[in-house]
């Protein structure tokens, strides 16, 4: 009896199981082609929120992992809240500068002690195109040794803090600091 007759003699259930195992084995031994997940920190595995209004909740440890993930590019971190008067004054300035430096500098907001609905409305009102994370207790701000808000911090590509400003900042002030890192 040849092999195919022996398999058929075992019944349709066995044939179906054999085909299923063959398919699974082929899938597991895939070529790693275009549909295979990348392990290079792709957007799918990034801690960086996908949209400006996503506002995922972060704690200090997760925020530090995000900063580490972003090394290699200058980073502007802005600690803010929708209920904060100085934050409202600087919001249009941040929108302008983040657009000017898009692709060369990563801006990240840290929304503290806020309500998500109000925070999302704030982001949309000022046209921010960069992501923010949500810190309901202010723990990230506190872990950075900061008091109050707004606070703007700039990190160089190696992750070294090179600038900190407490209070409302201006487009000119941020531009001046970023020009030192990436030019105009």
Half-sphere exposure of 61 (CA within 13 A, CB side): 0
Residues 62 and 32 in one domain: no
Residues 84 and 10 in one domain: no
Residues 89 and 104 in one domain: yes
Domain count, the chain: 2
> What does the pLDDT look like over 114-172, one tens digit per residue?
999 999 999 999 999 999 999 999 999 999 999 999 999 999 999 999 999 999 999 99
Range of the domain at 58: 43-182
- Please tell me the distance from the alpha carbon of residue 95 to that of residue 107, in angstroms, as a whole number: 10
> What does the pLDDT look like over 39-70, one tens digit per residue?
334 444 699 999 999 999 999 999 999 999 99
Residues 52 and 31 in one domain: no
- The structure's pTM equals 0.76
Look up the CATH number of the domain holding residue 167.
Answer: 3.40.30.10
Residues 73 and 24 in one domain: no
Residues 6+ apart with CB under 8 A from 91: 80, 122, 125, 126, 128
Residues 144 and 116 in one domain: yes
> What does the pLDDT look like over 171-181, one tens digit per residue?
999 999 999 99
Residues 30 and 47 in one domain: no
Residues 67 and 117 in one domain: yes
């Amino acid at each position: 009896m040849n092999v195919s007759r022996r398999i058929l003699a075992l019944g349709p259930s066995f044939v179906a199981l054999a085909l299923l195992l063959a398919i699974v084995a082929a899938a597991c031994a895939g070529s790693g082609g275009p549909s295979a997940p990348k392990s290079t920190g792709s957007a799918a595995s990034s801690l960086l929120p996908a949209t400006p209004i996503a506002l995922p909740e972060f704690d200090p440890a997760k925020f530090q992992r995000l900063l580490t993930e972003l090394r290699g590019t200058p980073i502007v971190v802005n600690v803010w809240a929708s209920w904060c008067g100085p934050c409202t004054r600087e919001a249009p300035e941040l929108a302008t500068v983040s657009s000017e430096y898009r692709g060369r500098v990563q801006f990240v907001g840290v929304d503290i002690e806020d309500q998500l609905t109000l925070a999302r409305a704030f982001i949309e009102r000022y046209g921010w195109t960069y992501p923010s994370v949500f810190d309901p207790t202010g723990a990230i701000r506190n872990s950075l040794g900061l008091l109050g808000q707004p606070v703007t911090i700039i990190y160089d590509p190696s992750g070294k803090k090179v600038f900190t400003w407490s209070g409302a900042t201006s487009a000119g002030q941020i531009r001046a600091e970023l020009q030192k890192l990436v030019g105009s």
